[in-house]
Amino acid sequence: MSATPVVVSDVDAVGPLTGVLALQGDFAEHEAALQRAQLPTRQIRSPLDLAGIKALVLPGGESTTMLRLLDIEGLWEPMSHAVHSGMPVFATCAGMILLAERVENPVQRSFGVLPITVVRNGYGRQLHSGTFLLRSEILPTGTTGTFIRAPRITHTGPECEVLAFRGDDPVLVQKGNVLAACFHPELVFSHVVIARFAAMVREQADCFTAAG
């Protein structure tokens, strides 16, 4: 007699399941950072992987390659639906480029969920990458961000909150449930931006639980 299979819910006692787009880029670092923030994660490589997730992360990497792979895997439509669904979304760098309303250098397709214009590699190429002090009224003094061939935000819509600047440039933005950074908080052991996102995910999950 075969044993009855035990179906374990993705949303178990550990916390709300967070999907991490895992086609290309530094998704492993994002997963590790989320797990350090006590969020269970699942790699998103095909449309079925999106079932049951409560939050979504788009990593850094190369946005043109990600676009190609999203098409190949049939993920463009399902991901577009997910990022517009109201679930908490966090994106860094290439991920942020995918979320932007307008992308330049060159112009490319995007999900358009964040009212920002970004210029790819807007701080120059590899030589100009590095760690910079962020200017912010809400992040602790001394918070830094690591920029790697980062996009530059050249315009933000009025509904977009700017949470941090590098010099005069917005580098951390939020619109409702969507948070995005030009820099890479996942690369340090513990970063306040990951903690902020984890809090957003838990808060939203609690709301749904409370609503029954």
Question: Known catalytic residues?
Answer: 93, 184, 186
Beta strands 41-44 and 152-156: pairing type?
Answer: unpaired
Site size toward ligand GLN (CB under 6 A) is: 11
**37 or 97: CB nearest ligand GLN:** 97
> Judged by CB under 6 A, which stretch of 3-11, 58-66, 162-170, 187-195 contacts ligand GLN?
58-66
Q: What is the DSSP letter of 139?
A: S
CB of 107 to ligand GLN, least distance (A): 13
Binding mask 92-111 for ligand GLN (x = CB under 6 A): -xx--x--------------
**62 or 101: CB nearest ligand GLN:** 62
Which helix (H) or strand (E) segment holds residue 130: the answer is strand 130-133
DSSP state string for 40-84 = -EEEE-SGGGGTT-SEEEE-SS-HHHHHHHHHHTT-HHHHHHHHT
**Binding of ligand GLN at residue 57 (CB under 6 A)?**
no
Distance, in Å, from the CA atom of 184 to the CA atom of 204, rounded to the nearest integer, reads 24
Nearest Cα neighbor of 156 from 89, 102, 203 is 102
Task: Give the burial string for 32-57 (b: 16+ CB within 10 Å, else e).
Answer: ebbeebebbbbebeebebbeebbbbb
The correct pick among 43, 121, 144, 154 for binding ligand GLN (CB under 6 A) is 121
Query: Closest CB to ligand GLN belongs to which residue?
Result: 93
**Binding of ligand GLN at residue 122 (CB under 6 A)?**
no
**Binding of ligand GLN at residue 202 (CB under 6 A)?**
no
CB of 38 to ligand GLN, least distance (A): 25
Binding residues for ligand GLN, per CB under 6 A?
60-63, 93-94, 97, 120-121, 148-149
